[in-house]
Amino acid sequence: MTNTTSNERSYISALSDDLLWRLFTLFTIGNFDNEWIWDCGVRWKNPMQQEPEDKPLITLRHVSQVCSRWREIVLSSSSLWANALDFQYLRQQENMWREEVIRRTGAALLSVIALRPLLGQPPDSDFLWDFLAQNRDRIRRLHVVVDTFHDPAEVLPVVQSISQSPKLEALCLNIHYGRPHTGFQEVLLGKSVSYLSIHRFNADLTPSSFTSLRTLKLVDCQLHPNFLVHLARMPLLEEFSFQEYYNYRFQGPVFWHPPHDSHPVNLPNLRVLSLGGTPRVTAALLAYIPPPPRLIDFSWNTLDRPVLTVDELDIFQEQFAKYFTHLMEFGEAGGISLLVDGTNFAIQTYGYDGVHKLRSRPPKIAFSFRITYPGYTLEPAISSTLGYAPSPTGGRGVISTIINFFISSPPSSFTSITSIEFSFNSLYNLPGPHLDPEIISAWLASFQAVRTLYASVLDVFLVFLLLQHRGYVLLPTMKEFIDVSKERLYIVNADAIVELTRERTRLGIPLETMDLTACNEGEIEAFMLLEDVKGLEVKLNNEVRKCISRLKLFKELPEWEPSNDIVIR
pLDDT value, residue 29 = 62
Which among 390, 385, 248 has a CA at the least distance from the CA of 313? 390
Non-local CB neighbours of 51 within 8 Å, separated by 6+ positions: none
Interhelix angle 152-163/124-134, nearest 10 degrees: 30
CB 539 within 8 A of CB 516: yes
Q: Give the 3-state secondary structure of residue 561.
A: coil
What mean pLDDT is predicted for residues 193-220? 88
Q: Whole-angstrom Cα distance, residue 524 to residue 545?
A: 10
Write the CA distances from 5 to 2, 15, 247, 430, integer angstroms: 9, 18, 68, 67
Q: How far is CA 431 from the centre of its chain?
A: 27
CB 164 within 8 A of CB 192: no
Q: How far is CA 298 from the centre of its chain?
A: 10
461-473: pLDDT as tens digits: 777 877 887 888 8
Q: Is it true that the peptide bond before 362 is cis, omega within 30 degrees of 0?
A: no
328-359: pLDDT as tens digits: 889 888 888 888 877 788 999 875 544 445 55
Q: Whole-angstrom Cα distance, residue 161 to residue 173?
A: 13
The neighbour count for residue 267, using CB atoms within 10 Å, is 23
Interhelix angle 56-64/68-76, nearest 10 degrees: 130
Write the CA distances from 236 to 9, 42, 239, 415, 522, integer angstroms: 47, 21, 9, 35, 56
Q: Give the 3-state secondary structure of residue 24.
A: helix
556 vs 444, higher pLDDT = 444
pLDDT of 257 > 60? The answer is no
Non-local CB neighbours of 218 within 8 Å, separated by 6+ positions: 198, 203, 241, 242, 243
pLDDT value, residue 51 = 44
Q: Whole-angstrom Cα distance, residue 491 to residue 109?
A: 68
* H or E element in which residue 523 lies: strand 522-523
Considering the chain, what is the average pLDDT of its residues? Answer: 76
496-546: pLDDT as tens digits: 889 989 999 999 999 999 998 888 888 888 888 888 888 999 998 888 888
At CA 375, angle to CA 371 and CA 379, rounded to 5?
Answer: 50
What mean pLDDT is predicted for residues 192-198? 91
- Write the burial class of residue 271 (CB in 10 Å: 0-12 exposed, 13-18 middle, 19+ buried): middle
pLDDT of 321 > 50? The answer is yes
pLDDT of 250 > 90? The answer is no
147 vs 10, higher pLDDT = 147
87-112: pLDDT as tens digits: 777 766 567 778 888 888 889 998 88
3-state secondary structure string across 232-273 = CCCCCCCEEEEEECCECCECCCCCCCCCCCCCCCCCCCCCEE
pLDDT value, residue 117 = 45
pLDDT of 480 > 90? The answer is yes
In this prediction, what percent of the chain has a pLDDT beyond 70? 73
Non-local CB neighbours of 394 within 8 Å, separated by 6+ positions: none
113-164: pLDDT as tens digits: 876 544 445 555 677 888 888 898 899 988 887 765 566 666 777 777 888 8
pLDDT value, residue 241 = 95
Q: Give the 3-state secondary structure of residue 221.
A: strand
356-401: pLDDT as tens digits: 455 556 788 889 999 987 544 444 433 333 333 433 333 358 888 9
Domain chopping of the chain, boundaries: 279-424+432-445, 451-569
List the alpha helices (DSSP H) in 393-490: 398-408, 437-444, 459-469
Which among 73, 130, 69 has a CA at the least distance from the CA of 98? 130
Q: Whole-angstrom Cα distance, residue 419 to residue 31?
A: 39
54-79: pLDDT as tens digits: 577 777 777 777 788 888 878 878 88
pLDDT of 44 > 80? The answer is no
pLDDT value, residue 34 = 37
The neighbour count for residue 52, using CB atoms within 10 Å, is 15
pLDDT value, residue 266 = 92
